[in-house]
Chain A
Amino acid sequence: MPSGLWVFIEQQKGQIRKVSLELLSEGRKVADELNLELGAVVLGEGVSELAKEAISYGADIVYVADNSDLANYTTGAYTSVLNKLIREKEPQIFLLGNTAIGKDLAPRLAQRLGVGLASDCTAMETHPENLLVFTRPVYAGKALNKVSSQVRPILATIRPNTFPLAQPDPGREGKVENVDGAIDPADLKAIVKDIVLAASERPELTEANIIVSGGRGMKGPEHFAMLEELADVLGAAVGASRAAVDSGWREHEFQVGQTGKTVSPTLYIACGISVAIQHLAGMGSSKVIVAINKDPEANIFNVADYGIVGDVFDVVPILTEEFKKVVSE
């Protein structure tokens, strides 16, 4: 079988990120179509266990570099190992999630390999000559480019929540190959001093299936408790518009939009958000949008699949109770 389609397995706190599993799930289908082997690459320390999970999601072979210098992600160390591995094994395609790590690693690796990179893709299709053609939103989603690579390997980062997760098969068999994790000393310049992860039990904004988001209509930081309660019933993340962030009600890391996060959840519930063009830029690729807004003329109703015309303070608590009933069923 010709050398393969590879997926970068990103892990956080010893868990494979959801987007990496999404890429394996879709990668399996594409690899079959193109008659390629599906490879997964795991970098880290004490990560060998993750190989099994990658295989259960469809990987034929898992390359594992286990090394204390890879324990924390650093651009240099990860690039060093991947560059060597890719040059040696010559995969045709290498896919990464468009996460904080993916966004930092992929361009560095692409430049070192002297190849192109399609970033933040929201679709891909197979093509007779170009192998894969990617769709990527540009101008904040106001246009869509189809792009293809003139050189190999083809590198792309894919937006989380783009592809559905496959059903894992724990009995599936695959190969595991331990690879040389030696790092060029020139690539060990950065020292990680500290990592602070929010203690929140809620899913990360960009990978959440459901997002409950609040805007200026929430009137103050204390009222976000109402949205958190709704979010917790649904296992959702809580987002915000820039108006809410600029007012100091929420941290910037929760801002959705052109100068915040780009999200693609299955369900986006916008509470007291008018949906300015810059907000839409960050959530326009959500599958279903729900709006709760007291102004029947608000722009959000022009993009929402379902809208409630009403006061968030009346509607949200009742909605939370209604969702509770359904979720507990």
Chain B
Amino acid sequence: MNIVVCIKQTFDTEAKIALDSQGKIDSQGVNLIINPYDEFAIEEGIRLKEQLGGEVTVVSLGGERAQEAIRTALAMGADKGILVSDPSLEEVDEWVAAEVLAKAVEGISYDLLLAGRIAIDDGSAQVAVRLAEKLGVPSVSSVLKIEADGEKITAVREIDGGTETLEIPLPAMVTAQKGLNEPRYPSVAGIMKAKRKPLNVVSLADLGLNAGDLSPKMVVDSTALPEARKGGRKLEGEPDQVAKELVQLLRDEAKVI
């Protein structure tokens, strides 16, 4: 079974967010990681390959530094990597990302596509589903468990207040939710091997695309930092006294009960 895993390099979850002189999010000096949900997708791809054979190709759209993320995936056990990187792509909305990734994926033979449920930077949870639509394959979002044979998958996905089990024919897209698996750490041998695995960096032109045709459908008008929450009233004293006081404040001052 051939598998394509879409991964995005994102800011570390601890990263402090600041704006640059243009009022955009400043990426200077920020530690970059593989989007945590994409790690589940990589792990699942490798496990399915170990079980059923085939190849795992990791695909990413990003800056030059995203090669590091792909190398990490290769060190975990993926076979090949493709990075689409092009300085002429300035603003990328989810539509643009899906259009570009679709072109990159079209050139690969695949039975299953895996991605993260959501990228923790833009928090949009769109690209994977859009990509599936663009490629004309069904998708299952927020998956906790996958069973695959050559023709179909059975997936358990999270829904509000419970779970749902779906059967869909391959090829298909699955997005990973926490709980799907425990991602492995790359071994030293894995890291050594990853250095010799193929990682192609391609431009839009290589994919037959033109930045001029890829203007975003959704634009960011402005970015602001939210006002930080401030600590309010701290109640100290005997439990029964502070409990009484809190209930009274929530009722009369905050008016939330």
Contacts and interface: CB of A to CB of B under 8 A. Distances in A.
Given A140-B13, A306-B232, A108 B254 contact: no
Given A193-B165, A307-B233, A107 B243 contact: no
A326 B251 contact: yes
A67 interface: no
A100 B230 CA distance: 31
Interface stretch (B73-81, B90-98, B196-204, B205-213): B90-98
25 contacts: A74-B166, A115-B95, A116-B216, A116-B218, A117-B124, A137-B123, A142-B17, A143-B224, A145-B223, A151-B217, A190-B138, A190-B140, A196-B163, A207-B160, A267-B250, A267-B256, A288-B250, A290-B250, A302-B230, A306-B232, A307-B231, A315-B243, A323-B247, A325-B247, A326-B257
A194 interface: yes
A209 to B, nearest CB: 8
Given A101-B159, A138-B121, A322-B244, A194 B164 contact: yes
Contacts of A151: 217
What's the interface size class on A, roughly?
35 or more
A147 B221 contact: yes
Interface residues of B, number: 80
A224 interface: no
Contacts of A284: 226, 229
Contact of B132 (A12, A108, A142): A108
Interface string A219-238: 00000000000000010000
A277 B14 contact: yes
A79 B123 CA distance: 22
A281 B123 CA distance: 11
B36 interface: yes
Interface in A133-177: 133, 136-151
Interface in B102-126: 120-126
Q: Which 9 A-B pairs have the closest CB atoms?
A: A116-B218, A116-B217, A107-B126, A197-B162, A305-B232, A111-B133, A107-B129, A142-B17, A111-B130
